[in-house]
């Protein structure tokens, strides 16, 4: 029996994530943790003076959903202004809650394949980990040591 | 499916769904019709507040509740029913010991030894107690295969050791610890021995007098009884000198405005309206287990564990935690599969109708000790079949491919 949820796009982003690596020159980074699952990522972004996300990467461990979701997010937001990334994060988080239009979902590109998570309550935290971490980073705008705070909050 | 499989499974309404492959028995077991009926009958025929009524149905409710206590005492070989305290579950039983015995008898500078393989329910109460009292918390570590060495244990013991907390069977390894030997050593230095029996009581016969443990905790819901009824066994002389855990109704002797005296054991520890329906369900579960018999339960679980273990070893890139011998697993098969996160393993199993557990199994310090973030766990009961194992193995064998790996 073929798997219904773990499709090729998701597994490819999990096994060969384009953006999972150490990154030089990041000016914001934050750890995001799901203590109950053991998902643990550090997201790093390089945001230029004009507020555009020039580059991004993540490191860490976690299930395929958390890892692929984060990789797909970075695919989508690299090269975009902060405000646009925040708008897309809002769409993604609404999609996971099941309240999004088809047009909005299309804007998420590959990340739109995670819409079924809205029917998998146990996996919601995995799917939103990278997105929440990014939101938190970009909304304070405080660079670097937010990592500790994120960790403490999660525990 | 054999005739015996069919006969046994017919007792469990939920197992009539042949597509359901339930392999999460260490988390909670299923319940037979006899238990469901007993609970319903209690509420239908004698429902009333036990212990306090002076009328017919309350007296009968009390009798049934106390009959359950007698049956539990008999089940674990306690000297008398007064040594059995009903709680919500093993977690509450262990907390009761930590709060009541611990706060009264553990002092600053005392040492508490906790095994590294404990479920958080037999670890956190001691961690908190140590913080509150200033006692020193020490961990007793196991080998990678889950074995605890008596010689290593002896090295940890001293005159300062006041309490040892150890499970009879880890919910990750399934290995039966020789708690009798560990308890004897603990007693030699004057320490009390608190045993978590949540995993062992459903799968192997237990005799608390033979084991000579001071406290023994287990949950009804892992052994075919309803959720919300658990047991604390304690040696009577210890229970008698311990202060109450919760205060309120039905645990008193006499209450005045500024002081009170308390009921005898075990009632001193059963404040408030008790879960009589749950206790009656537990009574029915014990009768049900007696009807099936330990011989059948152990034979089936051992044979099925061996079959599952052997087949798991044949799946490439799968590693089973714990002992190399299937007979040391007692139905608990915790594993990793290279490149697939346990939560994805459980999700794919679910797509195949197989229920397993994934995560840290409430044993984070043990996972850290073993250097693993998280694991997956299949756990069997005597009502599982070879077909259940085959479905599990089929899903396991295809797992890496479904996750996009070439092999």
Sequence-ordered list of residues with C-beta below 8 angstroms from that of A75, at least 6 positions apart, any chain: A18, A19, A109, A110, A111
| pLDDT confidence of residue A140 | 63
Residue B101: DSSP 8-state: I
Q: Which two tokens stand for residue B89?
A: 């579950």
Cβ atoms of A10 and A112 within 8 Å: the answer is no
Alpha carbon distances (Å) from B140 to B105, B111, B118, B146, B182: 22, 12, 10, 12, 11
Model confidence at A39, pLDDT cuts 50, 70, 90, reads confident
**Nearest by CB: B360 against A15, A38, A64:** A38
Instruction: Mention the CATH class of domain B35-289.
Output: alpha beta
Looking at the structure of chain A, the number of domains it has is 1
Q: Is residue A155 part of a domain?
A: no
* B407 contacts chain A (CB < 8 A): no
What are the phi and psi torsion angles at B108 (to 5°)? -55, 135
Among this protein's residues, is B142 annotated catalytic? no
Question: Which residues 347-376 in chain B show a CB within 8 A of chain A?
Answer: 347-348, 351-352, 359-360, 373-374
What is the rounded average pLDDT of the residues B54-71? Answer: 96
Model confidence at A148, pLDDT cuts 50, 70, 90, reads very low
For chain B, counts of helices (H) and of strands (E): 16, 15
What is the rounded average pLDDT of the residues B130-152? Answer: 97
* E runs forming strands in chain A: 28-34, 39-47, 53-61
Is residue B146 scored above 70 in pLDDT? yes
Partnered with residue A46 across adjacent β-strands are: A55
Q: Is residue A37 part of a domain?
A: yes
| B330 dihedral zone (left: phi>0; alpha: psi -120 to 50; beta) | left
Report the residue of B19, B120, B317, B341 to disrupt the A interface, i.e. the one with the largest count of A CBs within 10 Å.
Answer: B341
Q: Is residue A124 part of a domain?
A: yes
- Concatenating the DSSP letter of every residue in B267-298 gives GGG--SS--HHHHHHHHHHHHHHHHH-HHHHH
pLDDT tens-digit readout, A40-93: 999 999 999 999 999 999 999 999 999 999 999 999 999 999 999 999 999 999
CATH of the domain at A133: 3.90.1010.10
CATH 3.90.1150.10 segments of chain B: 3-23+293-402
**Between 3.90.1150.10, 3.50.50.60, 1.20.120.450, 3.30.1540.10, what CATH number should domain B3-23+293-402 receive?**
3.90.1150.10
A126 and B343 in contact by Cβ < 8 A?
yes
Query: In degrees, to the nearest 5, what angle opens at C-alpha B118 toward C-alphas B117 and B122?
Result: 165
A15 and B403 in contact by Cβ < 8 A?
yes
Which of chain B's residues have a Cβ under 8 Å away from the Cβ of A71?
none
> What does the alpha-carbon distance between residue B154 and residue B152 come to, in Å, rounded to a whole number?
5
Quote the domain boundaries for residue A137: 8-147
Q: Is residue A154 part of a domain?
A: no
Closest chain B residue by Cα to residue A38: B373
* Closest chain B C-alpha to A69 CA, distance in angstroms: 14
Average pLDDT, chain B: 97
* ipTM confidence score: 0.84
* Closest chain A C-alpha to B359 CA, distance in angstroms: 6
CATH 3.40.640.10 segments of chain B: 35-289
């Amino acid at each position: 029996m073929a798997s219904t949820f773990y499709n090729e796009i998701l597994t490819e982003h999990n096994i060969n994530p384009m953006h999972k690596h150490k990154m030089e020159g990041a000016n914001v980074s934050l750890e995001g943790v799901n203590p109950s699952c053991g998902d643990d990522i550090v997201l790093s972004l390089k945001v230029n003076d004009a507020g555009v996300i020039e580059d991004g990467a993540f490191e860490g461990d976690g299930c395929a959903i958390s890892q692929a979701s984060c990789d797909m997010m970075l695919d989508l937001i690299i090269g975009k202004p902060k405000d646009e990334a925040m708008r897309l994060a809002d769409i993604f988080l609404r999609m996971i809650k099941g309240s999004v239009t088809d047009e909005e979902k299309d804007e998420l590109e590959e990340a739109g394949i995670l819409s079924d998570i809205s029917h998998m309550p146990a996996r919601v935290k995995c799917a939103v980990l990278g997105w929440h971490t990014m939101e938190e980073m970009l909304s304070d705008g405080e660079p670097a040591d937010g990592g500790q705070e994120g960790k403490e909050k999660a525990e | 499916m054999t005739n015996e499989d069919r006969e046994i499974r017919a007792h469990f309404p939920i197992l009539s769904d042949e597509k359901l492959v339930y392999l999460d028995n260490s988390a909670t077991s299923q319940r037979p019709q006899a238990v469901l009926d007993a609970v319903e009958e209690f509420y239908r025929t004698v429902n009333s507040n036990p212990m306090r009524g002076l009328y017919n149905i309350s007296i009968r409710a009390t009798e049934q509740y106390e009959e359950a206590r007698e049956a539990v005492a008999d089940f674990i070989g306690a000297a008398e029913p007064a040594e059995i305290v009903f709680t919500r579950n093993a977690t509450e039983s262990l907390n009761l010991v930590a709060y009541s015995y611990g706060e009264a008898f553990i002092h600053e500078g005392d040492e508490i030894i906790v095994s590294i393989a404990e479920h958080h329910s037999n670890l956190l109460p001691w961690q908190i107690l140590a913080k509150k009292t200033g006692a020193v918390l020490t961990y007793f570590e196991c080998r990678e295969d889950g074995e605890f060495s008596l010689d290593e244990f002896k090295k940890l013991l001293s005159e300062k050791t006041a309490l040892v907390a150890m499970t009879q069977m880890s919910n990750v390894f399934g290995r039966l610890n020789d708690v009798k030997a560990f308890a004897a050593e603990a007693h030699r230095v004057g320490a009390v021995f608190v045993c978590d029996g949540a995993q062992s009581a459903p799968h192997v016969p237990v005799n608390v007098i033979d084991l000579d443990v001071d406290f023994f905790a287990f949950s009804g819901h892992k052994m075919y009884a309803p959720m919300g009824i658990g047991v604390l066994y304690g040696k009577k002389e210890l229970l008698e000198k311990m202060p109450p855990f919760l205060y309120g109704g039905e645990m008193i002797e006499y209450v005045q405005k500024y002081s009170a005296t308390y009921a005898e054991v075990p009632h001193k520890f059963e404040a408030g309206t008790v879960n009589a329906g749950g206790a009656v369900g537990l009574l029915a579960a014990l009768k049900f287990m007696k009807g099936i018999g330990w011989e059948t339960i152990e034979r089936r679980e051992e044979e099925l564990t061996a079959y599952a273990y052997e087949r798991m070893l044949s799946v490439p890139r799968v590693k089973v935690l714990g002992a190399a011998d299937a007979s040391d697993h007692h139905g608990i098969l915790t594993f990793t599969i290279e490149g697939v996160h346990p939560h994805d393993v459980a999700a794919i199993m679910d797509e195949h109708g197989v229920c397993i557990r994934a995560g840290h199994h409430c044993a984070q310090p043990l996972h850290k000790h073993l250097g693993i973030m998280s694991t997956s766990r299949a756990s069997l009961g005597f009502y599982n079949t070879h077909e259940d194992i085959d479905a599990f193995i089929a899903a396991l064998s295809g797992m890496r491919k479904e996750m996009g790996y070439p092999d």
